[in-house]
């Protein structure tokens, strides 16, 4: 009995280190296998990781998408905030340039100048004034339709004793003018109902009558001659 017990103890004693080591290795292997087997369940597989990478865009791709979206939106915003070419053309047509405005003003001013001048003529040439020069007498006739008051006819001068030449001795401050001009040479245009009147020019206070005359019609024609009716220059009116 003691021998059997001793043998059994010896066998247990002999088996224990190896079996313990073996069992420890088996247990460790089993535990490692269990841990390894459990690990894939808690972490995604390579295919899952690849799918996740494909489905989730990177930060760089997201930034690129944002930049593209912003760039794509910018032209639309610019188109909305800026007028189209047709709108710009319409505005340009409806609003005249500074250069066109200035041109219109210049034309209007030029067109108004003669009227303004004519309107101011009665003030610059008072109707009761004394005039003898070509320009003053022609303007006076054009403005008032008759000769200035310092002109007297040949008949009126003869009544004062005048017989020819200067009228200054008989009527100081007066000039010969207001007599009918016959146009016998036919140098001036004729028209039914038209008649001409003549007057001396630049004879105020002079010693003679000279060769200068103004011939004017009853319908607005005013001529000047400085060669005693040999030639005429039209100053006012249309033939």
Question: Catalytic residue among 118, 159, 169, 228, which?
Answer: 228
Question: Catalytic residue among 123, 185, 198, 239, which?
Answer: 198
How far apart, in whole angstroms, are the C-alpha atoms of residue 224 and residue 140?
A: 14
User: Do 184 and 171 contact (CB within 8 A), yes or no?
Assistant: no
| Long-range contacts formed by 166-173: CB under 8 A, 24+ apart | 166/203, 166/206, 166/207, 166/208, 166/209, 167/203, 168/205, 168/206, 168/207, 173/130, 173/204, 173/205
User: Do 125 and 140 contact (CB within 8 A), yes or no?
Assistant: yes
How far apart, in whole angstroms, are the C-alpha atoms of residue 213 and residue 194?
A: 19
Catalytic residue list contains 228:
yes
Catalytic residue list contains 198:
yes
Structure tokens at 139: 């303007």
Contacts of 136 (CB under 8 A, 6+ apart): 125
Q: How many Cβ atoms sit within 10 Å of the Cβ of residue 131?
A: 22
Q: Known catalytic residues? A: 198, 228
């Amino acid at each position: 009995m003691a021998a059997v017990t001793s043998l059994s103890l010896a066998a247990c004693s002999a088996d224990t280190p190896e079996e313990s080591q073996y069992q420890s290795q088996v247990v460790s292997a089993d535990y490692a296998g269990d841990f390894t087997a459990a690990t894939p369940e808690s972490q995604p597989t390579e295919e899952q990781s690849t799918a996740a990478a494909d489905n989730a865009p990177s930060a760089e791709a997201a930034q690129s998408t944002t930049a593209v979206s912003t760039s794509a939106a910018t032209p639309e915003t610019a188109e909305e905030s800026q007028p189209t070419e047709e709108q710009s053309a319409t505005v340009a047509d409806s609003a005249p340039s500074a250069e066109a405005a200035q041109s219109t003003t210049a034309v209007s001013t030029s067109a108004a100048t003669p009227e303004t001048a004519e309107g101011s003529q009665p003030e610059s040439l008072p109707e009761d004034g004394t005039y003898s020069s070509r320009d003053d007498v022609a303007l006076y006739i054009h403005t008032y339709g008759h000769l200035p008051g310092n002109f007297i006819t040949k008949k009126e001068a003869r009544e004062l004793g005048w017989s020819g030449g200067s009228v200054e001795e008989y009527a100081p401050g007066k000039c010969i003018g207001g007599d009918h001009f016959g146009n016998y040479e036919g140098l001036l245009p004729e028209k039914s109902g038209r008649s001409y009147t003549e007057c001396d020019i630049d004879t105020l206070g002079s010693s003679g009558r000279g060769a200068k005359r103004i011939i004017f019609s009853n319908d607005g024609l005013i001529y000047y001659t400085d060669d005693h009716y040999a030639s005429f220059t039209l100053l006012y009116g249309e033939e």
